[in-house]
C-alpha cells in the first residue's frame, strides 16, 4: 500500500487480512509489555500513552531507592537521582537526532518553552517580534504572549501568527515569507496537533537562519512517532513532553534540546539545577552553568515523575525508531483505506495529510457532530480524542495497537454512523476532550 495509492482497488478489507498483518508484525511482542484497558480499543496514545510493565518497574525501583537510601539516593542505587536527568537525556538524544549533551530531561513543555524563549528571545533594533502560527497548541501561544509582555511588548503587535489557508494545514512558503527583518525568534510545531501535518523542519530552520532568525520547535506530537535529525537540521532549540508516544505517564517530566553551538549561552531563567554538577554544592551566589543542555534546567528534578521514562526508553531502543515509524505509517495508511472504502456510510472527512512524508502518527477526521461521535465511540469501547471544534483523532500506536484493532474500530465507527447512534449523546466535549 504505497502512499500515492489511496484508492481502494487493492484493499483486502477482511477481518482475516487484519489478522494476517498482525501475525507478520515484528513489533507485536511489545503489546504484551503494556497494560491494555480491558475490553477497550485504545486509540488515544497521542494524548496519553499507556502504562508499560517496564515503566511500572522503573517507577517502583526509584520509589524503593527512596525507601532504601533516603537522601543518599541522590548518589546511590542503580539510577542515582543527581545524574538522572542527564542519563535520560543521553537515552532520548537518538530519538531526536541529537548529541547526548544537547538533551536534558526536565520541567514541562511550557516551563521549558518559557526557559528557551527567555534565553533566545533577545530583541534588538528592528528585530523585536516572535513568529508563530494560528494552528499551534494554545499553551505555546500563552507562553509567547507572556514572554513578550515581560520584555515590554504587546502580543497584539509583536506576536505574528501565520495564517492557514484551510484551517487544517500550514504552508511552509507562508511561514518563510513571514520571516522578515522584524522577527527575532520563530517558535513552531513539528507536527500540527489537530491534522497531524509534519512541517519541514530542515527547510524552515535553513530559511530562518538565512534571514537572521533563531528558530525552535515544539515536538510534543512528534517525539516517538516520527524520525528527527535536530542537530543536522540545525534547529536552535526544541521542547517536548514525554507522556504521549513515549508513554512516561500523566504529567511526567518533559525534555528540551539546545543545539551545541549555543551551549554556553547563559540561561534566561537560571536556577538551582542550572549549575555545573561539580560546582552546585559550593553554594556560591554566582552561577557557573553546566556546559551542556543541563544548564537550562531550573529546579530540582522530579524523580518519581521521570522514573517511568527509564523503562519506556528501553523499549524504544529495542524496537528501533525506524521500525516504529514504518509500522505507524502502515497502520494509519490501512486505517485511512478502510475509512475511505466505507465513506458513503461514514460521512466523515479525512483531515490529515494522505502522503506518508507529511503525516505523523494519528488520523484526523472531521464531522460537525464530532463531539457526540467521540462519546458514541467511547460507549462502544473505542477510546478516541476529540479536538474542538469538529475533530476526531485516532492514533494507532505501533508499540501496543494491532491491525485487528484498527479494523474493529473502523467497523464500530461505520455502525455508529449508519445507525446514527451518536444522536443519543450531546454534541459537547467532556471536561477532558
Q: What is the pLDDT of residues 9-24, one digit of tens each?
A: 568 999 999 999 999 9
Residue 411, pLDDT above cutoff 50: yes
Does the pLDDT of residue 4 top 70, yes or no? no
Position 427 scores a pLDDT of 85
pLDDT tier at 77 (50, 70, 90 boundaries)?
Answer: very high
Q: Could you tell me which residues are annotated as the binding site for pyridoxal 5'-phosphate?
A: 109-110, 137-140, 218, 221, 243, 272, 300
**Structure-model confidence comparison of residues 103 and 1, the more confident one:** 103
Averaged over 382-402, what is the pLDDT? 97
How far is Cα 282 from Cα 126, in angstroms, rounded to an integer? 42
Residue 64 confidence (pLDDT) above 60: yes
351 class by beta-carbon count within 10 Å (0-12 exposed, 13-18 middle, 19+ buried): buried
pTM of the model: 0.96
Q: Quick one: pLDDT at residue 433?
A: 67
| Distance, CA of 94 to CA of 426 (rounded, Å) | 44
- pLDDT at residue 205, as a whole number: 98
Q: Does 87 score more than 70 pLDDT?
A: yes
- CA distances 184 to 153, 199, 222, Å, are 13, 20, 25
Q: How far apart are CA 407 and CA 337, in angstroms?
A: 10
C-alpha cell, 410? 473502523
Please check the confidence at residue 7 and state whether its pLDDT lies above 50.
Answer: no
Domains of the chain: 15-33+320-424 (3.90.1150.10), 56-317 (3.40.640.10)
Average pLDDT over residues 137-158: 98
C-alpha 164/C-alpha 172 separation (Å) is 10
Residues of the binding site: 109-110, 137-140, 218, 221, 243, 272, 300
What percentage of residues in the chain have a pLDDT greater than 70?
A: 97
> Cβ-count burial of 151 within 10 angstroms (0-12 exposed, 13-18 middle, 19+ buried)?
middle
The pLDDT value given to residue 8: 46
Provide the pLDDT for residue 429.
79
Extract the C-alpha cell encoding 174: 507562508
| Prior bond of 73 cis (ω within 30°) | no
The span from the CA of 229 to the CA of 96, in Å, is 6
Mean pLDDT for 90-119 is 98
Q: Is the pLDDT of residue 386 over 80?
A: yes
Amino acid at each position: 500500500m504505497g502512499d500515492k495509492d489511496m484508492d481502494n482497488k487493492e484493499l483486502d478489507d477482511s477481518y482475516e487480512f487484519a489478522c494476517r498483518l498482525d501475525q507478520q508484525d515484528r513489533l507485536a511482542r511489545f503489546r504484551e509489555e503494556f497494560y491494555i484497558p480491558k475490553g477497550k480499543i485504545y486509540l488515544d496514545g497521542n494524548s496519553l500513552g499507556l502504562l508499560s510493565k517496564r515503566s511500572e518497574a522503573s517507577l517502583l525501583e526509584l520509589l524503593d531507592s527512596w525507601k532504601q537510601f533516603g537522601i543518599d539516593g541522590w548518589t546511590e542505587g542503580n539510577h542515582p537521582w543527581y545524574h538522572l536527568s542527564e542519563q535520560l537525556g543521553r537515552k532520548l538524544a537518538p530519538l531526536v537526532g541529537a548529541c547526548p549533551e544537547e538533551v536534558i530531561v526536565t520541567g514541562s513543555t511550557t516551563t521549558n518553552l518559557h526557559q528557551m524563549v527567555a534565553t533566545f528571545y533577545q530583541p534588538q533594533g528592528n528585530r523585536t517580534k516572535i513568529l508563530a502560527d494560528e494552528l499551534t497548541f494554545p499553551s505555546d501561544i500563552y507562553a509567547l504572549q507572556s514572554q513578550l509582555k515581560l520584555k515590554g511588548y504587546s502580543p497584539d503587535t509583536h506576536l505574528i501568527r501565520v495564517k492557514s489557508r484551510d484551517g487544517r494545514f500550514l504552508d511552509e512558503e507562508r511561514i518563510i515569507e513571514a520571516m522578515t527583518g522584524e522577527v527575532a525568534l520563530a517558535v513552531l510545531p513539528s507536527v500540527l496537533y489537530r491534522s497531524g501535518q509534519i512541517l519541514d523542519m530542515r527547510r524552515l530552520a535553513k530559511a530562518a537562519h538565512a534571514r537572521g532568525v533563531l528558530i525552535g520547535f515544539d515536538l510534543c506530537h512528534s517525539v516517538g512517532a516520527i524520525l528527527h535529525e535536530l542537530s543536522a537540521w540545525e534547529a536552535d532549540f526544541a521542547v517536548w513532553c514525554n507522556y504521549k508516544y513515549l508513554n512516561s505517564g500523566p504529567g511526567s517530566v518533559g525534555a528540551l534540546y539546545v543545539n551545541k553551538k549555543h551551549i554556553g549561552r547563559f540561561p534566561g531563567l537560571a536556577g538551582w539545577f542550572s549549575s555545573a554538577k561539580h560546582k552546585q554544592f559550593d553554594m556560591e551566589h554566582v552561577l557557573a552553568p553546566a556546559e551542556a543542555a543541563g544548564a537550562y534546567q531550573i529546579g530540582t528534578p522530579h524523580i518519581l515523575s521521570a522514573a517511568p521514562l527509564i523503562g519506556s526508553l528501553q523499549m524504544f531502543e529495542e524496537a528501533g525508531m525506524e521500525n516504529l515509524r514504518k509500522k505507524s505509517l502502515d497502520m494509519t495508511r490501512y486505517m485511512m483505506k478502510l475509512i475511505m472504502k466505507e465513506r458513503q456510510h461514514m460521512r466523515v472527512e479525512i483531515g490529515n495529510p494522505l502522503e506518508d512524508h507529511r503525516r505523523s502518527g494519528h488520523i484526523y477526521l472531521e464531522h460537525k457532530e464530532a463531539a457526540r461521535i467521540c462519546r458514541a465511540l467511547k460507549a462502544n469501547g473505542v477510546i478516541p480524542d476529540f479536538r474542538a471544534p469538529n475533530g476526531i483523532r485516532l492514533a494507532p500506536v505501533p508499540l501496543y495497537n494491532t491491525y485487528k484493532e484498527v479494523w474493529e474500530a473502523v467497523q464500530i465507527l461505520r455502525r455508529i454512523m449508519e445507525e446514527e447512534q451518536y444522536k443519543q449523546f450531546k454534541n459537547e466535549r467532556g471536561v477532558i476532550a
